[in-house]
């Protein structure tokens, strides 16, 4: 883009006594683009400011030429300009370079380093060059300054209206990087219909909290009876009752305000010390506040901070609550920056939730339940890989995770969720193994065990066999149900409850004992 601006010469002093009533702020500039000429109204007061702002744009080339046309104004040193601006590749140009003196009302500030900037464009350029952050928000009128005190809460830059003053100011702070200068000399208006404290620049939800704030923070005490009388008197529209209404105004008792007083913006309560304030927000509002970082509403929070928002100085108990705070309060899209959990973390640490599971099983269960991440479906062959878990382990021990389970159901759940191994049901087995196999070998599963106890446990758990807790020692021995010594020939031992042992262990139908001999 190329542009040519013709400028009138300046006068060092204007000593004329004649005063004219011509307009001193608005200038008409002719814009020509593709054989189409139209007028664009540009509000300027000093052409130097306009040229400086345009010079910062890399797509515009400016050439300033003086013209002999000069007019005197009303306020001493005023100069009128008539300029011709030729644009070659620009659709619209709206320059509102009104020489504002708003430094005492608001200023632009980088939310990352806190450096003050001249305008929105320089702020975005600073973030791009210094912090390497590309701002994705598109502004409809970049060079149009928003009115921070707009009564309709309307942002002219974005062409967007807001329902409350607080939401409008928050929009200016987060998207336009505008920071308002607190007006300490202002006094709050007790009759404000919106319960807005102009001294603190905050609006309360109702009159109760607003008056509580005035009492605790500003030292303004208002009697409840006087407030009720004022509300009743204000409802009357007759002019004769106006004098009586003035007599029933709330009685205000001014007291000396303490220094360094902390105000709770949630309920309006004031506190003399930070300790009392932290106690209040912790037990009343459920917010754990730690003085690790000073509250700075200019600086925006980041995801990497340990549950503490450096903008609000709030500390949260979990990562989930912290991210929810960033999403609701600061309107941050956490879906773009949140990391994915590492399913192969050796310490069972979930970096998204900042949570360490006590075991591999609980870690995999957490990934499946919270993040919907399951183990990779792979074909498992137990006979080929000794590192995989054994579904028939009698001690419910997972050798892959090196973890024991107390119950078989938990072990099955672990194999199914973590390793995707399902135990074979008894209905799928065509035959049952020999419980008395001398080699502790299961002919169905084609696998052997180290000892008979593990083998019997395998038969009981996997094959659902109802077995005795004792191993049969002599398989083909003949058992005498009426043995006088209560001796079991197959088990090779005596029992105090001999007949019950025969029924439970050997599935024998034992007749009742004979009556004792006379």
Q: 53 forms bridges with which residues in the sheet?
A: none
> Which residue range forms the structural domain that includes residue 514?
476-518
Is residue 130 domain-shared with residue 73, that is, in the same domain? Answer: no
Structural domain contains residue 46: yes
d(CA 442, CA 458): 9
DSSP state of 288: B
Out of 69, 97, 125, a domain closes at: 97
CA 504 to chain CA centroid, nearest Å: 62
Which tokens is 247 given? 């007599």
Out of 152, 180, 208, a domain closes at: 180
**pLDDT in the model for residue 467:** 67
Over 60: is that where the pLDDT of 120 sits? yes
Q: How many domains does the chain have?
A: 3
d(CA 27, CA 8): 13
Structural domain contains residue 319: no
- Supply the pTM of this predicted model: 0.26
Structural domain contains residue 237: no
d(CA 276, CA 263): 11
449: left (phi over 0), alpha (psi -120 to 50) or beta: beta
Of residues 295 and 224, more confidence is placed in: 224
**Secondary structure in 3-state letters for 483-499:** CCCCEECCCCEECCCHH
d(CA 438, CA 349): 46
Q: What backbone phi and psi angles, to 5 degrees, belong to 363?
A: -65, -45
Q: Name 495's Cβ contacts closer than 8 Å, sequence gap at least 6.
A: 486, 488, 501
Q: What backbone phi and psi angles, to 5 degrees, belong to 107?
A: -155, 160
| Strand 62-66 with 36-44, pairing | unpaired
CA 414 to chain CA centroid, nearest Å: 32
Is residue 113 domain-shared with residue 29, that is, in the same domain? Answer: no
* pLDDT tens column, 128-145: 888 888 777 778 888 888
Over 70: is that where the pLDDT of 510 sits? yes
Is residue 13 domain-shared with residue 88, that is, in the same domain? Answer: yes
Structural domain contains residue 162: yes
DSSP state of 403: E
Structural domain contains residue 221: no
DSSP state of 221: E
Is residue 8 domain-shared with residue 92, that is, in the same domain? Answer: yes
Q: Residue 57's pLDDT band (boundaries 50, 70, 90)? A: low
Task: Give the helix/strand (H/E) hosting 316.
Answer: none
CA 357 to chain CA centroid, nearest Å: 22
At CA 405, angle to CA 401 and CA 410, rounded to 5?
A: 100
96: closest CA among 165, 162, 136, 147? Answer: 147
Structural domain contains residue 125: yes
Is residue 156 domain-shared with residue 80, that is, in the same domain? Answer: no
When pLDDT is averaged across residues 237-255 and rounded to a whole number, the result is: 41
Over 50: is that where the pLDDT of 152 sits? yes
Structural domain contains residue 79: yes
Structural domain contains residue 132: yes
Is residue 117 domain-shared with residue 156, that is, in the same domain? Answer: yes
User: What's the farthest any 2 CA atoms get from each other in the chain?
Assistant: 153
Helix (H, G, I), strand (E, B) or coil at 394: coil
d(CA 182, CA 199): 7
Out of 97, 114, 135, a domain closes at: 97
Over 60: is that where the pLDDT of 274 sits? yes
359: closest CA among 299, 289, 411, 435? Answer: 411
* pLDDT tens column, 395-425: 778 877 777 777 777 787 777 777 766 655 4
């Amino acid at each position: 883009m190329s542009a040519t601006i013709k400028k009138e010469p300046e006068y060092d002093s204007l000593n004329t006594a004649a005063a004219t009533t011509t307009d001193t702020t608005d200038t008409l500039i002719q814009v020509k683009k593709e054989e189409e000429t139209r007028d664009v109204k540009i509000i300027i007061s000093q052409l130097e400011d306009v040229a400086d702002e345009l010079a910062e744009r890399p797509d515009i080339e400016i050439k300033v030429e003086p013209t002999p046309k000069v007019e005197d104004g009303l306020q001493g040193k005023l100069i009128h300009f008539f300029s011709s601006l030729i644009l070659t590749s620009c659709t619209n140009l709206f320059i509102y370079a009104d020489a504002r003196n708003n430094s005492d009302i608001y200023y632009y500030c980088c939310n990352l380093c806190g450096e003050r900037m001249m305008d929105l464009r320089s702020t975005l350029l600073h973030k791009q060059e210094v912090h390497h952050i590309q701002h994705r928000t598109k502004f409809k009128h970049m060079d149009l300054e928003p009115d921070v005190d707009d009564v309709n809460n309307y942002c002219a830059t974005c062409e967007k209206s807001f329902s409350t003053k607080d939401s409008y100011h928050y929009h200016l702070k987060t998207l336009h990087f505008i920071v308002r200068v607190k007006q300490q000399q202002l006094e709050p208006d007790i009759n404000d219909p919106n319960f807005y404290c102009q001294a603190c620049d905050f609006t309360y939800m109702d009159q109760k909290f607003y008056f509580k704030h005035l009492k605790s923070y500003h030292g303004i005490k208002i009697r409840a009876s006087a407030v009720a009388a004022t509300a009743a008197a204000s409802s009357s529209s007759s002019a004769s009752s106006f004098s009586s209404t003035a007599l029933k105004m709330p009685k205000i008792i001014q007291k000396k305000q303490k220094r360094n007083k902390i105000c709770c913006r949630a309920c309006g309560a004031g506190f003399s010390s930070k300790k009392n304030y932290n106690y209040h927000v912790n037990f009343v509002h459920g917010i754990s506040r730690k003085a690790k970082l000073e509250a700075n509403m200019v600086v925006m929070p980041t995801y990497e901070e340990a549950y503490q928002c450096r903008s609000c100085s709030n500390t949260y108990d979990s990562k989930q609550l912290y991210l929810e705070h960033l999403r609701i309060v600061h309107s941050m899209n956490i879906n773009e920056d949140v990391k994915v959990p590492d399913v192969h973390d050796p310490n069972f640490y979930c970096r998204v939730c900042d949570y360490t599971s006590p075991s591999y099983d609980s870690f995999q269960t957490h990934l499946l339940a919270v993040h919907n991440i399951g183990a990779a479906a792979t074909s498992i062959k137990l006979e080929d890989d000794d590192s995989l878990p054994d579904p028939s382990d009698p001690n419910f021990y997972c050798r892959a995770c090196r973890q024991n389970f107390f119950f078989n159901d938990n072990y099955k759940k672990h194999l199914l969720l973590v390793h995707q191994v399902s135990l074979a049901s008894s209905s799928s087995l065509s035959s049952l193994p020999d419980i008395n196999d001398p080699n502790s070998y299961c002919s169905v599963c084609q696998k052997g065990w180290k000892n008979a106890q593990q083998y019997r446990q395998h038969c009981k758990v996997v094959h659902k066999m109802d077995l005795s807790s004792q191993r049969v020692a002599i398989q083909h021995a003949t058992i005498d149900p009426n043995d006088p010594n209560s001796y079991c020939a197959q088990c090779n031992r005596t029992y105090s409850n001999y007949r019950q042992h025969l029924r439970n262990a050997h599935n024998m139908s034992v007749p009742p004992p004979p009556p004792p001999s006379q």
